[in-house]
Amino acid sequence: MASNTTGEIFKITTFGASHGTALGAIIDGCPAGLELSKEDIQLELKKRRPGTSNITTPRDEKDQVEILSGIFDGKTDGTPITAIVRNKDQRSKNYDNLINNPRPGHGDLCWQKKFGHYDYRGGGRGSGRITIGHVIGGAVSKKILEKYNITVTAHVISIHNITTEKKYSLDQIKENITKNNVRCADIEKAKEMEERILQAKNEGNSVGGIVEIIIDNIPLGLGQPVFDKLDGDLAKALMNIGAVKGVEVGLGFESAALTGKEFNDQYFLENDKIVTKTNNCGGILGGMSNGMPVILRIAVKPTPSVSGIQKTVNLVNNKESTIEIEGRHDPCICPRITTVAESACSMVVVDHMIRAGFIHPDKI
Amino acid sequence: MASNTTGEIFKITTFGASHGTALGAIIDGCPAGLELSKEDIQLELKKRRPGTSNITTPRDEKDQVEILSGIFDGKTDGTPITAIVRNKDQRSKNYDNLINNPRPGHGDLCWQKKFGHYDYRGGGRGSGRITIGHVIGGAVSKKILEKYNITVTAHVISIHNITTEKKYSLDQIKENITKNNVRCADIEKAKEMEERILQAKNEGNSVGGIVEIIIDNIPLGLGQPVFDKLDGDLAKALMNIGAVKGVEVGLGFESAALTGKEFNDQYFLENDKIVTKTNNCGGILGGMSNGMPVILRIAVKPTPSVSGIQKTVNLVNNKESTIEIEGRHDPCICPRITTVAESACSMVVVDHMIRAGFIHPDKI
Amino acid sequence: MASNTTGEIFKITTFGASHGTALGAIIDGCPAGLELSKEDIQLELKKRRPGTSNITTPRDEKDQVEILSGIFDGKTDGTPITAIVRNKDQRSKNYDNLINNPRPGHGDLCWQKKFGHYDYRGGGRGSGRITIGHVIGGAVSKKILEKYNITVTAHVISIHNITTEKKYSLDQIKENITKNNVRCADIEKAKEMEERILQAKNEGNSVGGIVEIIIDNIPLGLGQPVFDKLDGDLAKALMNIGAVKGVEVGLGFESAALTGKEFNDQYFLENDKIVTKTNNCGGILGGMSNGMPVILRIAVKPTPSVSGIQKTVNLVNNKESTIEIEGRHDPCICPRITTVAESACSMVVVDHMIRAGFIHPDKI
Amino acid sequence: MASNTTGEIFKITTFGASHGTALGAIIDGCPAGLELSKEDIQLELKKRRPGTSNITTPRDEKDQVEILSGIFDGKTDGTPITAIVRNKDQRSKNYDNLINNPRPGHGDLCWQKKFGHYDYRGGGRGSGRITIGHVIGGAVSKKILEKYNITVTAHVISIHNITTEKKYSLDQIKENITKNNVRCADIEKAKEMEERILQAKNEGNSVGGIVEIIIDNIPLGLGQPVFDKLDGDLAKALMNIGAVKGVEVGLGFESAALTGKEFNDQYFLENDKIVTKTNNCGGILGGMSNGMPVILRIAVKPTPSVSGIQKTVNLVNNKESTIEIEGRHDPCICPRITTVAESACSMVVVDHMIRAGFIHPDKI
């Protein structure tokens, strides 16, 4: 059944597959009057696109976007914004040996049982390439958030066994992550991380990592109690990104080992604004933003496409078999997942701003 | 805006507050023909209800359920099932000193800004007491899952600094958790945990913990790719429970430090069924169940209601102030949250079984 | 599957059946701060309830409402408002001969095939009695609309072959319909209509009619283009009321025989406000309100419960059979349907006012 | 807010405007395994497209469709199907005089107030051209219904003051409507209708009409009680089509003047199938299909674009003004609306078949 739409009022529907004609997204519910150009979207796609460094897949996709609808005289017009990217550098032959032998760690087997087939050409719609749709939605969302000075920043804090320890200001993070391929604020550690990823690549292996997302300047009172909590929706949006195996808010799993007296963030006044000095709750209480920055972290598993022989089961003769995966893959998805995570969170925040009456639903 | 409904096809809407007349739930979309009695729901409510041991809040609520609609001749009839529980042991006076002084760690401030008021009587609809609605929905869901031999089991694996290390079979877990107040499979550790909770209680403090949920015998192919993934929906359902600050699937955050060759679960045949020997992915690939047990863990923060003076800001005069919280509270919410987590997951699984065509939408 | 909820942001879920324990509704998404009492709801229920005149069913139900949640200090608190009415005067034995012999003109056969059973006791949830839920939702909606001076008025314009011809001002209509049992603005015709209904009653027969609904003072720009048009949503809401077989807006079916030059409503200024002098379009253009009163009419079929032998098929032996319907029924549903139609339209208008940013989603 | 999606499980989202780059639709929730080609969609678009006879607008659009996603090896793959049509024959200059002078009978004024602007170039997304999206969705729906031998047929029964009186079998209707430009089953009347339309065209005027839709071989039990009734959803789908001012089911407004004894359709057996000999209810009882053909009729207003001077109000200086509409328009939209009405109803039926468990949600 339909499951390619996200959002309640501000809705994004995405489409397309790894080796189809085109991928894209429709943003429905964007208020009229927002300045938006092809370049705004292209800029975000560029951050996500492969082939830009030696630690990403060598698949070379320029990911040129075309806007088909929703813009009139340089502004959104309140109708659905449709943007597409055509696939160019497809090499489907790489995948032929995978027919009927589902890859471990991928959704192949699940697709087969569910839909009666799976797209052996790079995973089809199970591919990470579909996050082009997320990023298109994120680009529009970020343009909206810009008007409210809200920023969403994702940065890598851990790759395999290498973890940043230093604390950086948000401004430093924003600046530093543009200076290395890993999108890590700690430039020294970034080098180590890059080397660790290259090593994995050379070994035909892959590595996981952790990405932190900071939503800054978010208004107090976003999120709906009970079943549409801000943290619930953010957790879903992030967990829906392929390869994400965990989501935490504020101190997250660390909270479990604390007492209430240690954990509680007490209230103070700062320039007449109610603030907390600690932010253990990660900016969310009772499912609603409390005005402090929202802090999330996601656990990213190592890319499942690794070299070497792996055990599987042949779906035609129902016997155990083996496969060897070729094709082009990312040895670590963390650097590229940052843009996708920013997009996912941006879309949730915009949706909740409209839902909570901070943004008018029809015009901006 | 409306946010008290969860589910796409099998929908639960809950209502009621800590100190209102009644709490309850409507289950809409339950197929006709399911045997269901008041006792089925009462049994689950009993697991959740307070006052049953010295490590829960002393508020004494019998939580007697009444079914108002949806049952005909002992079976569901395809129309909405409404069940309510009336509040009995309310002592609102305990809360009077909290008016206009939002409690740290609670949603009071957020409610005030969002809705123009907050219910100082025990948090109103921000109270943990509203999970009565979840548990009613869970009770009906479990009755459905029973027909398919699917079980959902939540057990405590960590309280503050005490963590279970031994591995238990699912049968052992199911049995052992009924034998102690903490709902921990490791009976030795359970004693330590109980003592740790009592110590916190005596100190007017609280502690957090970790709960694991195991969904057994789940069919292959549940979950919808892209935006309605099974892990996305489970993460949302769990994060929506008050006090939950993190959710992970399978190895979760541990995945981040592994390589793909270590992480991938390879496929084998076992009695003609495709299985994996490891279950690092926690039973979910590409957002869909792969036929292995689904394993989730949630981080539960220490209850924010602790004794002693805490800093806050008075909302009337906008000056810094202090409060002291009295009332009756759980020193650790983990034991009682197990039933809520089971309910939340059960509802998601039933919804996805209907969505994926495993259960007929109208009759069972 | 779930189908007992209506509305996008302002949502009403109803429950209960003709002969169950209770009926009721949850209103989720009502902004906080609205003054609302039990009496507000009781007043509307009283308009709908049976047994108030000799032209309605003699079933005597006081329809006393109880509010279970959502009100705090006399005002809505932003959480779900739950209100219930317990069934009192049930006489299920009247229906026993109907088991396995579906009544012509009722949904019995459809329920049987769809859900594997049907509630032979007065139609269960297929009964008109379920509109108690609609009216609860309508009562809350009307309280909201009151703040914006928007009124929704339904009046009978035709019963069987008796049709009003005189035109009345909205004020006259509002006044006159309270003065007769038929809720017709033309007091002379109302007498004829009442006699016609009594005649049908005495003959064990029933009659249909036409009800007009006028939504006054509705703001310009309600409704969403394409798939959530105001007329689309109103048509659905009205057609969803049992016995309604047709819905038209403005000139409706009469439009078909006109030319564009005759039909178009041209624009003029009246006290600096853009108005039309004619209102052939019924206040809706391009799916949006144009600021003029919205005018709708619904065709109501004669109640299917009539006396005398009717042909049916026995579902057990699959042979043709006959039934004779007893029980207590309305010889004409039009007078009572007016309140239900007002409720249905009020809920749509409130939902669209929130959706279009005219009402804040969280507080009023 | 978002409003360009229709359907609960089988969802269609449409996009694009009269004078933008492209129009199209995404069908999300189409089960995998359906044979579908570009030609299947092109065939339906051809029925709708303008410029094919002298009674439609002379705008010459070939409406060539391109499928961007959702098809793998000639079959649907369970992922969103995206199809687009690029605008070619746009002549925006025709519309320049309409800036700031909203056209009577169109949504211009409503768009202006709602979104802060309106697309004076042919109505933008308020144009009838957007029904390309409906027809794409309808083409896919019809391919699905074909597998179940369900047909949806719309035919013109009235144009202005010319109305068919003869009754035709469904087979005759299907055949005859392909033989004339009006899509009327009565070939003699069709000639009169065509002449009447041409006369209106020559006079710079337009005419309305009535279209009947017959859904044949629909299974018993489609539709959900209470708020998602089959007739409710069909009424909404049809009313959402531009220019439709009324919808009726079965005898519709005629029902109002009948008695219950006249109206009720009694049950009989025919080849062991339960049938009714009359079909006054139009195949729907209690909101569910009863197994007989579903019969609907829609009232279509005369196209509002007529020649000659019309009164309006200038939105810049807020003074009364006049406009004269040029551009290319249909003198009667009924013939072309038949395909759109078939599409709208087909989408509803497929959605309800999946919702009621007649079609598997994931594979066909």
State phi, psi for A183 to the nearest 5 degrees: 60, 50
Instruction: Give the one of A3, A21, A79 whose C-beta lies nearest to D15's C-beta.
Output: A79
Q: Does A70 contact D362 at a Cβ distance shorter than 8 Å?
A: no
* Mean predicted lDDT score pLDDT of chain D: 94
Secondary element (H or E) of residue B174: helix B170-176
pLDDT score for B99:
84
D residues 119..148 contacting A (CB < 8 A): 119, 124-125
What's the length of chain D? Answer: 364
**D247 close to D235: Cβ distance less than 8 angstroms:** yes
Tokens of A297: 């972290």
Q: Please name which of B22, B85, D226 lies closest in space to residue C13, comparing C-alpha atoms.
A: D226
**A95 close to A122: Cβ distance less than 8 angstroms:** yes
| Domain extent listing, chain B | 5-355
DSSP labels, C205-257: --B-EEEEEEEESPPTT-SBTTTB-HHHHHHHHHHTSTTEEEEEETTGGGGGG
Using pLDDT thresholds of 50, 70 and 90, give the confidence band for residue C97.
confident
Q: Please name which of C165, C152, C160, C157 lies closest in space to residue C339, comparing C-alpha atoms.
A: C152
CA gap C276, C250 in Å, rounded: 13
Tokens of A335: 């650097």
CA gap B14, C68 in Å, rounded: 12
CATH topology of domain A5-355: Chorismate synthase, AroC fold (3.60.150)
Q: Checking phi first, is residue D160 left (phi over 0); if not, alpha (psi -120 to 50) or beta? A: left
State phi, psi for C82 to the nearest 5 degrees: -115, 130
pLDDT score for D184:
98
Using pLDDT thresholds of 50, 70 and 90, give the confidence band for residue C88.
confident
Secondary element (H or E) of residue C270: strand C267-270
pLDDT surpasses 90 at C98:
no
Q: Which residues pair with A259 in a beta bridge?
A: B207
Q: Is D66 exposed, middle or buried (0-12, 13-18, 19+ CB in 10 A)?
A: middle
At D148-167, the pLDDT tens digits run 999 999 999 999 999 999 99
The better pLDDT of the pair C99, B22 is held by B22
Question: Which residues on A lie below 8 Å from C2 (Cβ)?
Answer: none
CA gap A142, A48 in Å, rounded: 15
Among the ranges given (C131-135, C174-178, C279-283, D58-62), the one the predictor scored with the smallest mean pLDDT: D58-62
Q: Residue D355 corresponds to which amino acid? A: R
The better pLDDT of the pair B54, C288 is held by C288
Encode burial over A50-86: b for 16+ CB neighbours within 10 A, e otherwise.
beeeebbbebebebebebbbbbbeebbbbbbbbbbbb
Whose structure tokens read 């379009």?
C281
Question: Which residues on A lie below 8 Å from B246 (Cβ)?
Answer: 246-249, 252-253, 255
Q: Which residues pair with D313 in a beta bridge?
A: D320
pLDDT score for C358:
97
**Euclidean distance between the first and the last CA atom of chain A, given in angstroms as a whole number:** 33
Give, in order, the Cα–Cα distances in Å from D232 to each of A154, B172, D235.
46, 52, 5
State phi, psi for A328 to the nearest 5 degrees: -115, 130
pLDDT score for A247:
98
**Is D309 in the C-facing interface, judged by CB distances under 8 Å?**
no
Q: Sign of torsion, CA D341 D343 D346 D348?
A: negative
pLDDT score for B222:
97
The better pLDDT of the pair B92, B140 is held by B140
CA gap D152, D214 in Å, rounded: 6
Q: Please name which of C224, C215, C217 lies closest in space to residue C357, comparing C-alpha atoms.
A: C224
Q: What is the mean pLDDT of residues B51-55?
A: 76
Question: Which residues on A lie below 8 Å from C360 (Cβ)?
Answer: 357
Is the pTM higher than 0.80? yes
CB pairs below 8 Å between B and D: how many? 20
Question: Which residues on A lie below 8 Å from D68 (Cβ)?
Answer: 15-16, 20-22, 24, 84
Question: Which residues on B lie below 8 Å from D357 (Cβ)?
Answer: 357, 360-362
Contact partners, residue C323, CB within 8 Å, separation at least 6? C97, C98, C101, C103, C309, C310, C312
CB atoms near residue B187 (< 10 Å)? 12
pLDDT surpasses 80 at D332:
yes
**D108 close to C225: Cβ distance less than 8 angstroms:** no
Whose structure tokens read 């339960």?
D274
Encode burial over B46-64: b for 16+ CB neighbours within 10 A, e otherwise.
ebbbbeeeebbbebebebe
Q: Does D104 contact C246 at a Cβ distance shorter than 8 Å?
A: no
DSSP labels, B15-42: E--TTSSEEEEEEESPPBT-B--HHHHH
At D203-226, the pLDDT tens digits run 999 999 999 999 999 999 999 999
Half-sphere exposure of B169 (CA within 13 A, CB side): 3
CA angle C195, C198, C202 (to 5 degrees): 140
Contact partners, residue A178, CB within 8 Å, separation at least 6? none
pLDDT score for D251:
98
CA gap C114, C101 in Å, rounded: 16
Using DSSP bridges, classify how beta strands B273-276 and B267-270 pair: parallel, antiparallel or unpaired.
antiparallel
Tokens of C54: 């000799």
Q: Does B361 contact D356 at a Cβ distance shorter than 8 Å?
A: yes
Using pLDDT thresholds of 50, 70 and 90, give the confidence band for residue D327.
low
pLDDT surpasses 80 at B96:
no
| Chain A closest-CA separation from residue D290 CA (Å) | 26
At D88-110, the pLDDT tens digits run 876 656 666 778 999 999 999 99
pLDDT score for B66:
97
Total H helices, total E strands in chain A:
8, 18
pLDDT score for A282:
98
Q: Which residues pair with A303 in a beta bridge?
A: none
* Mean predicted lDDT score pLDDT of chain C: 94
pLDDT per residue of chain A (364 residues) written in tens, 0 to 9: 789 999 999 999 999 999 899 999 999 999 999 999 999 999 999 998 876 778 877 777 788 999 999 999 999 999 999 999 999 876 656 666 778 999 999 999 999 999 999 988 878 999 999 999 999 999 999 999 999 999 999 999 999 999 999 999 999 999 999 999 999 999 999 999 999 999 999 999 999 999 999 999 999 999 999 999 999 999 999 999 999 999 999 999 999 999 999 999 999 999 999 999 999 999 999 999 999 999 999 999 999 989 999 999 999 999 999 999 876 688 999 999 999 999 999 999 999 999 999 999 999 9
Q: Does B77 contact C22 at a Cβ distance shorter than 8 Å?
A: no
CA gap A232, A226 in Å, rounded: 9
pLDDT over 90 percentage in chain C: 87
**Is D92 in the A-facing interface, judged by CB distances under 8 Å?**
no
DSSP labels, C326-345: -S---S--HHHHHHHHHHHH
Q: What is the mean pLDDT of residues B290-309?
A: 96
**Is C274 in the D-facing interface, judged by CB distances under 8 Å?**
yes
**Is A4 in the D-facing interface, judged by CB distances under 8 Å?**
yes
Using pLDDT thresholds of 50, 70 and 90, give the confidence band for residue D54.
confident
| Helix/strand/coil for D308 | coil
| Helix/strand/coil for D193 | helix
CB pairs below 8 Å between A and D: how many? 171
CA gap C274, C183 in Å, rounded: 33
Q: Does B226 contact A240 at a Cβ distance shorter than 8 Å?
A: yes
Contact partners, residue B78, CB within 8 Å, separation at least 6? B30, B31, B32, B362, B363, C111, C114, C115
Question: Which residues on A lie below 8 Å from B268 (Cβ)?
Answer: 311, 313, 320
Question: Which residues on A lie below 8 Å from C353 (Cβ)?
Answer: none
CA gap A68, D20 in Å, rounded: 7
At C186-240, the pLDDT tens digits run 999 999 999 999 999 999 999 999 999 999 999 999 999 999 999 999 999 999 9
Q: Does B106 contact A207 at a Cβ distance shorter than 8 Å?
A: no
Q: Checking phi first, is residue A293 left (phi over 0); if not, alpha (psi -120 to 50) or beta? A: beta
